[in-house]
Chain A
Amino acid sequence: MAGETKENQAQSGTLSTLDKPKRWDLPFSQDLPNEAERRDLTETELDRLLQSKPFSAMDLDKFPKSLAVRDILRNDTRIRKYRSGDAVVSAGDYGNSAFLILEGDCRAIIEGLDQSALGRTERKRHSVMGSLIKIFNNPKLPEVRDAQHYPQMDNKKLQAGASGNRPGISTVFVQDVPNVLELSPDAFDATKNNVMPQGSLFGELSALGRVQRSVTVVAADPTTTLLEIRWQGLRDLMKYDTALREHVNELFRSHGLQGALQASPILAAADLTQAQWDQVIAEAEFETYGSYDWYGSFQQIRGESVDPLSQEPIIAKEGHYPNGLVLIRAGFGRLSEKNGDFEQTFGYVGKGNVYGLEELLHNVDVAEALPLQSTLRAAGYTDIVRISTKTFEDLIYPGLEAARQRGELSVSFLGEQIKRRSERRVKIDINPTQPEMKADFDPSMMEFLVENRLMNGTETMMIDLDRCTRCDDCVRACASGHDNNPRFVRHGQIHGHYMIANACMHCEDPVCMIGCPTGAIHRTEGEGKGEVVINDLTCIGCGSCANSCPYENIRMVNVRDQSNQSAVMVDPVNARSIVKATKCDLCVDHHGGPACERACPHDALKRVDMNDIDLLSDWFNR
């Protein structure tokens, strides 16, 4: 027995070495589903790229040594060929890369494309039986990995779809493009850039903004060649090249804006003609408040006792003249109103919400205009589109009015618009027919949520401490589905008797992604709900995501080598143990949704979507 013990200790003592992963261990060109397509860019190709726009126009000296354009191209891009009709990106997907058309042309399809034509497939999950079996042959020790699959071991052994690219996404074939295009009545006039000529860049919006693809793009040329750029790469390029940055912004106005505007139900309801759209877009101003990486400053101020409001740039101020309809494109805005001397937060707005609608509705042909009833601040970082009052009254309001008379647009729908952005209705009755807005929960809770930017979460783990028996069933359930590793900690910020546990909230705006050098942390694509997941194979354990997560929901762990008595893996060079970032993946690999919620016997734990105020307040008022 004793002997065995010794041996055992010896075993767990033997070290398993693994090269320290680095950003470019796995070039983008190698990160592809099917072996055939994997090929590094040749030098000649690189040369050609560097001569062609936009790279030719770049001032290479502005780039630091470590990030030479050439290297970026080599590692963060790949050249892909498409046949006519191949869907390059499909609307609704979360993309982590942008595309530059090298050859041939592509077409954006705003509407009329049957989703099924895109061959959307369920993300690969374990079969129920599979999950069941896993539960019973989980490794005994924590954080055991099958190191054989790490690229550092051998690049040839890369797993298909390692970085979560939906297998076969690139080979979805849309039958007979012309017809498809005809499906949309004025396909070719729908947007100026419907036909995207050589040299044009697309997909950068969702790549950078961490938002869904707004349109489907199909290759319209038998030999279409695209340069696919990892968003990390694009980010770096933009960082050091102003031209590209401006170009991208311009692109947004031209492609993205209409999509973004139409994404807002209220504007969609006004159904404008294309001409009107163009007008709106032409006049729309879009502004960005706060910093793209707001979390940094946020983490700084969190500790100190500084009034958060002072840190948040004001977008529109209470009492001012409503000079336009504000549409939130990305990020969040805090809604507050004067209450005596101080301001009280009573709500927040997120992507797709509008601000100032009631006031505008009220002010339409009224003598004395009603000033804004609340202040809108950029909670961290906010992208907004502002449509001037004039445009609203000239184009959108008539549309809405018409829609309402036609009965297509119910008052309650308008109400809905208002409700989504706040719990408390504005003080004076703007529209008597508006539905009564209930005051659903403790404003201090609202304060707390906004204060800590928790409204960012779409799957926030809330625990009702009045019911939680601390039985840890949730944790155990979680572990059973993740190779015997919990993916959250049952502690966290507490307000009243509610705890926001340290589990990934799968944010609307996943700032954790920003820092990631390899794109290991990404949103699931295809039918995935866009959960934020980490690809363990490409994670290099730099910890930038863990650092950037404002909620401390990503944890770095020392990994063990399954093939070597589950010994801790270390980097032979500097004796550092190999760490990987881990977090809640919402059980994407399993059926039935997050196990933690289902495992809670006392209805104490819930994954709540902060966008759905109703559900949230229902839950609070159980």
Chain B
Amino acid sequence: MRIHLQNIGYKDSEYERPNQEWVCGWTRDGNPCKHGPDGDGHCTAHAQAICDPKKEGERFKCTRAGAFGGPCEDGPSPDGSCACPTPEHLVCQPTRNIRARRGRAVVMLAVLSFGFLLLMLGGPWVQSFVNPGQLSSVHLAIQGSKGVENCGSCHANGDAGPSEWFKAAFSSVEMAHEIGSAACLDCHFIDPGLGREQSMLVHGADPSVMDQLTNAALDASVSNTQTHRVLEISGLIQGPVSVADDGLACSSCHAEHRGADHDLLFMSDNECQACHQNPFKSFNQGHPQFSQGPQASAGIVFDHARHEGRFTSEALECGSCHIADKTGREMDVLPFKRSCQGCHEQGSKDHHGDKIKKNAIAVLQLPEMEFDEDAYWPTDYAIGESLPPLMALMLLGDPQAVSLLESIYDGDGADGDLYEWLILTDDEDEPELRLDLALALKRLVSDLSDSSKRGAQVRRERLSRAVNIDADDQRLTQFSNALDAASFVMQRFQQRYLPQLADDLDGAEVSADDDEFFESEWITSAGMAGWRVDSDEGLVSYRPVAHADDLLASLMMLMQIDRPNGSAQAVVMGRINEAFENDFRTCTKCHSEQNGEIAWTSSDRTKRLSGFAKFNHSPHLTMLASQSECSSCHVLETSSHGVEMAGLESVRGFLPHRSESCTSCHAPGLANNSCLNCHQYHEERPE
């Protein structure tokens, strides 16, 4: 049983007027007055009663409108003024209709928000308010404590305040990168050598260079790489990325205000792949193959292939020669003593055995000469048939001796054969030349045997004249030091064969023979290692004692110095070379010699490895079960079955690296495989 509520008859139901802002206050009570409030929300209850009585004959008649309940029973007062009966409704307080109230709500909230904003922007806390997010921990110092004005420390007009910000927002001037990144560069110099503008450039390189590289890369771009679908699509949408010639702002990669724990340095691969025109999916999918093998050190010649498996593995492992340097990034080669000596030197003093005897180097031997008039010369003991090359070298340092040597080594004449030369001197009747030679030799001996500082000095000068390089040249010093060590031996030599040399050189009269000196014995000492005096032949010789022999090494280096062709020096050197060929070869077998440079040590390789790609050995070493596993990356040519080496020259017996050897571990879900794991954007500038 329902109760009918709404009559729709036009008499029963007037227009509902939701468009009227004001509704009668009595509506809430369920009986609004027919008339309703006026347009400004005032109750019209009083007005409804009002009428202006009309005179009809004698009586006044109420003219209250039908809309207000028609004429009132009592009618107007006799004098014709409206008696104004109390209205059916008491005066009400009209209320806004729901719609109007909604409008008010809108306005109020708007005003509220506006006020709030004013308060926030107006107060001293404005900067903390507008701060879009905490700076990363490294920069917190810049952000400073609350309420400190410091936006300006990075943002131009950051401290200018709201009004300026508004201006800036609507000013059309486009801020250039430099301004934005200037603040960064104040602290972070990518490369002190680089100007601010340059620092912003892509890879810090000159745009033209980048273009070349890009084109080159595009030409070489590997077609079969799996490309990044999404990147392709966005490429289609965006077209190829073009970076403005003034480069990138720091902020375009290093986003700030991401909270304290935000890592400014973290980059996703996209940061790289966005620009790199042939975007591939990831390091694991589509990364171009490596073009280089392990970097070769040109210094020490070492054929890994020959050594591998040649000896028992525990005797010879990668680790027995290679060790990570202190940074752990690179692998160094251990010095000879620790790597090679084990096999290549028995450690006994005389490891050269007979072999060495043969090629002991003759250093000093007085030649056999006869003089017409008597001269101070140990005729009986001077039995040399030729000038030992090394001695000749030292003679070259004697200005008076140069001409003699030239005549001795004159190709048309004696051609270095001393005996021949002596005959020649007879024939040409120039006996005084012999005296000159003897004299030069005596001077040499005295020089060599002078163990004083001055002696060393003299010797150095003499040598410098001989090989005409300045006295304090490192190679020369090394050589002369070796001679200094021998000065004691030389003294003995002098005291044995030319005891009165000093007097003789002073021009005093000395007797030809002086046997009484011959009792004196040979004394050997540690400093004299390798030096030997052959009393029967009156010969001072030297044999290299151990690996890295100073004399030999320095001599080899001196040999590299080029000298005028045909000159006595040239000839002499030639002789020396012939004489020492074998000895030299023993060294150059390992110590390669390149354009006048002899590599004594394994020159360091970090220089050669591009700074753009980095690799750190140490973490990988920890992964290795046994050292032999180095081969999992460093594949030897010989053991390289089925590995194709198309046009990639193998280095020192190693095949070029294959990215597979990396991707086996550096894969999603395993080890980090992001671009920046190997590549460092700011490290090296392409040129």
Q: Could you list which residues of chain A lie within 8 angstroms of chain B, going by C-beta atoms?
A: 5, 8-10, 12-15, 139-142, 472, 475-476, 479-480, 484-493, 502, 546, 549, 552-558, 566, 568, 570, 572, 575-577, 582
Contacts and interface: CB of A to CB of B under 8 A. Distances in A.
Contacts of A10: 47, 50
B66 interface: yes
B17 A577 contact: no
B87 to A, nearest CB: 11
Contacts of B35: 568
A491 B166 CA distance: 53
A566 B70 CA distance: 19
A576 B17 contact: no
A485 B15 contact: yes
Majority SS at the chain B contact face: loop
Contacts of B20: 142, 484
Contacts, number: 119
13 contacts: A9-B42, A10-B47, A12-B44, A14-B50, A475-B19, A486-B18, A491-B6, A491-B13, A502-B10, A552-B10, A557-B14, A568-B68, A575-B71
B8 interface: yes
Nearest to B35: A568
Nearest to A582: B15
Given A12-B47, A15-B51, A502 B17 contact: no
Given A568-B67, A572-B54, A575-B70, A555 B44 contact: no
A575 B10 contact: no
Nearest to A553: B10
A228 B109 CA distance: 64
B66 A577 contact: yes
Contacts of B62: 575
B10 to A, nearest CB: 5
Interface string B41-72: 01110111011101000000111111110110
Q: Considering the complex of A and B, which 3 residue pairs feature the smallest CB-CB distances, nearest first?
A: A140-B39, A13-B47, A13-B50
A3 to B, nearest CB: 12
A549 B11 CA distance: 12
For A5, A12, A487, A493, the residue with the greatest tally of chain B CB atoms inside 10 Å of its CB is: A12
Contact of A479 (B17, B43, B68): B17
Contacts of A572: 54, 63
B192 interface: no
A448 B662 CA distance: 83
Contacts of A488: 15
A568 B35 CA distance: 10
Contact of B15 (A5, A9, A486): A486
A139 B38 CA distance: 11
Given A13-B47, A491-B8, A486 B19 contact: yes
A582 B47 CA distance: 26
Contact of B16 (A475, A553, A554, A570): A475
B73 interface: no
A141 B66 CA distance: 18
Interface of B: 6, 8-10, 13-21, 35, 38-40, 42-44, 46-48, 50-52, 54, 61-68, 70-71, 99
B66 A570 contact: yes
For A13, A488, A502, A582, the residue with the greatest tally of chain B CB atoms inside 10 Å of its CB is: A13
A204 B10 CA distance: 32
Given A485-B15, A570-B66, A575-B64, A141 B10 contact: no
Contacts of A491: 6, 8, 13, 16
Given A486-B16, A566-B39, A556 B67 contact: no
Contacts of B21: 140
A575 B13 contact: no
B648 to A, nearest CB: 72
A555 B13 CA distance: 9
Given A8-B42, A479-B17, A486-B16, A570 B47 contact: no
A15 B42 CA distance: 17
B119 to A, nearest CB: 31
A12 B52 CA distance: 13
Contacts of A556: 10
A575 B16 contact: no
Given A475-B17, A577-B66, 18 more contacts: A9-B42, A9-B43, A12-B38, A13-B50, A15-B63, A140-B21, A142-B20, A479-B17, A489-B8, A489-B14, A489-B15, A493-B8, A502-B10, A552-B9, A572-B54, A575-B64, A575-B66, A582-B15
A555 B8 contact: no
A475 to B, nearest CB: 5
B42 A141 contact: no
A575 B38 contact: no
B70 A472 contact: no
A475 B20 CA distance: 11
B682 to A, nearest CB: 58
Contact of A476 (B19, B64, B66): B19
B63 A484 contact: no
B52 A15 contact: yes
B44 A13 contact: yes
B16 A576 contact: no
A534 to B, nearest CB: 13
A553 B10 CA distance: 7
Nearest to B61: A575
A212 B46 CA distance: 51
Contacts of B71: 575
Contacts of A140: 21, 38-40
Contacts of B14: 489, 555, 557
A97 to B, nearest CB: 28
B18 A476 contact: yes
B13 A489 contact: yes
A576 B50 contact: no
Contacts of B63: 15, 570, 572, 575
B21 to A, nearest CB: 8
Contacts of A472: 16, 18, 99
B16 A490 contact: yes
Given A485-B15, A568-B67, A9 B39 contact: no
A19 B13 CA distance: 27
Nearest to A554: B10
Nearest to A484: B19
A588 B66 CA distance: 32
A180 B585 CA distance: 130
A582 B70 CA distance: 22
A305 to B, nearest CB: 15
A476 B43 CA distance: 23
B67 A558 contact: yes
B83 to A, nearest CB: 14
A493 B8 CA distance: 8
A479 B61 CA distance: 37
Contacts of A570: 63, 65-67
B88 to A, nearest CB: 16
Contacts of B64: 575
Contact of A502 (B8, B40, B50, B67): B8
A12 to B, nearest CB: 5
A12 B42 CA distance: 10
A459 B17 CA distance: 22
Contacts of B8: 489, 491-493, 502, 552
A568 B16 contact: no
Contacts of A5: 42
A475 B38 CA distance: 20
A545 B14 CA distance: 16
Contacts of B17: 142, 475, 479, 485-486
A551 to B, nearest CB: 9
A9 B47 contact: yes
A568 B46 contact: no
Nearest to B39: A140
Contacts of A475: 16-19
A546 B48 CA distance: 26
Contacts of A485: 15, 17
B450 to A, nearest CB: 118
B38 A8 contact: yes
Given A8-B40, A546-B10, A489 B16 contact: yes
